[in-house]
Amino acid sequence: MKIDSSFSFGDQLDDIDDIKRRYVEFENQGFDGVVTAEIQNDPFLVVGMGADATNEVELRTGIAVAFARSPMTTAYTAHDLNAFSKGRFTLGLGSQIQAHITKRFSMPWHGPAKQMGEFIRALHAIWDCWYDGEPLNFRGDCYKHTLMTPDFSPKNTEYGRPKVVMAAVGPKMINTAAEVADGIIIHTFGTQKYIEERILPSIESTLAENGKSREDFDISFPPFVITGQTEEEFEAAKAQVRYRISFYASTPAYKPVLECHDWQDLQPKLNHLSKNNGWDKMPELISDEMLETFAVVGEPLQVAEQINKRYGKLVDRITLENNLPTTLLQQQMEIIKG
């Protein structure tokens, strides 16, 4: 299993020197990769700083919002980052939900599974043109790319196309990832039971239908983690994770995870609160049973043991919280890798 660090919720990414310093720190600590999420910053800019500051660690977006961009602009950016980092970049894409795409980004929405499938196929059609000399003639319902001249084709193609992995929660998106992507990012709002009973069977059947091998398909998962070196740190982590679980559980698209545990009746209650400024009341609806089902909970080394036990045979990569001292992080990584 590979272990990634991350730039994620709550990180302040407003100092270039600090971002580069942290990338170097993650690489020296022994992480296999660094994942950058698109929250308050453009993830590609942050990854570019990492490409400049490091030499070996893998660089990944997890996720960049696909539908906020076109396949062509994304193809250029991903190509550049992979070339600049000498083949270390993996493009992690997610759809976001309709309200954010149409109201925040003011971009069209065609349905997440269909649109994401087309988006990734369009990326590969563009890269087929650049790397293999194929004519560009992609015609879909959501995207059309039919023009590419030599002047606009990148020449630094020695590192090839980046890998593309895709975030998915529901069954249609899971199948789409297995059909068109090089891997899947299982949403943090996932559980061992949901991965075992819903995600893996869908992945394996879809891969088989498309003549693809599980060995060539990358499954990564950033689990919720509740830990700390002091009681104060532990309680702060618990409060933050309880809130995040309530936030995700309020979203209709994530209801299948709740249904797997017979908790689906909670979703409309949380959704109602989210639409009526009841954010502070939402965490109160998350029981301790739910908290311990969604999150690994305990002292730092206990958490590492739980991650190994729960997910060691299910996924290929884990994203690990990085707010612990280096010696403790390295002990955690040894336990997780078994």
Q: pLDDT truncated to tens, each residue of the chain (338 aa)?
A: 999 999 876 678 889 999 999 999 999 999 999 999 999 999 999 999 999 999 999 999 999 999 999 999 999 999 999 999 999 999 999 999 999 999 999 999 999 999 999 999 999 999 999 999 999 999 999 999 999 999 999 999 999 999 999 999 889 999 999 999 999 999 999 999 999 999 999 999 999 999 999 999 999 999 999 999 999 999 999 999 999 999 999 999 899 999 999 999 999 999 999 999 999 999 999 999 999 999 999 999 999 999 999 999 999 999 997 788 999 999 999 999 98
Taking only the tens place, the pLDDT of each residue in 196-239 is 999 999 999 999 999 999 999 999 999 999 999 999 999 999 99
Report which of 257, 250, 241, 236 is spatially closest to residue 279, judged by C-alpha positions: 250
Q: For 262, what's the count of Cα atoms within 13 Å in the CB-facing half-sphere?
A: 1
Q: What is the CA radius of gyration of the chain?
A: 20
218-221 and 295-297: which strand pairing? unpaired
How many whole angstroms separate alpha carbon 335 and alpha carbon 301?
8
Instruction: List C-alpha distances in Å: 20 to 33, 60, 110.
Output: 14, 15, 37
- Model confidence, pTM: 0.93
Other Cβ atoms closer than 10 A to 35: 25
Decide if 113 contacts 84 (C-beta within 8 A): no
Report which of 319, 93, 47, 302 is spatially closest to residue 190, judged by C-alpha positions: 319
Residues 6+ apart with CB under 8 A from 168: 174, 176, 177, 184, 185, 186, 187, 199
Report which of 216, 246, 238, 239 is spatially closest to residue 316, judged by C-alpha positions: 216
Looking at domain 2-227+298-337, its CATH class is: alpha beta
Could you tell me which residues are beta bridge partners of residue 317?
2, 220
Which pLDDT score, from 0 to 100, does residue 9 have?
66
Report which of 225, 269, 238, 276 is spatially closest to residue 251, judged by C-alpha positions: 269
- First-residue to last-residue Cα distance in the chain: 9
Buried b (16+ CB within 10 A) or exposed e, 143-181: bebeebeeeeeeeeeebebbbbbbbbbbebbbbbbbbbb
Which pLDDT score, from 0 to 100, does residue 173 have?
96
Q: For 75, what's the count of Cα atoms within 13 Å in the CB-facing half-sphere?
A: 23
Q: What is the amino acid identity at position 132?
A: D
Decide if 279 contacts 240 (C-beta within 8 A): no
Report which of 233, 236, 217, 253 is spatially closest to residue 300, judged by C-alpha positions: 233
Q: Tell me the DSSP string of 293-329.
A: HHEEESSHHHHHHHHHHHHTTT-SEEE----S-HHHH
Q: Structural domain boundaries of the chain?
A: 2-227+298-337, 228-295
Q: Which helix (H) or strand (E) holds 47?
A: helix 43-53
Report which of 290, 297, 330, 293 is spatially closest to residue 228, judged by C-alpha positions: 297
What is the three-class DSSP state of 65? strand
Which pLDDT score, from 0 to 100, does residue 11 have?
77
How many whole angstroms separate alpha carbon 210 and alpha carbon 217?
12
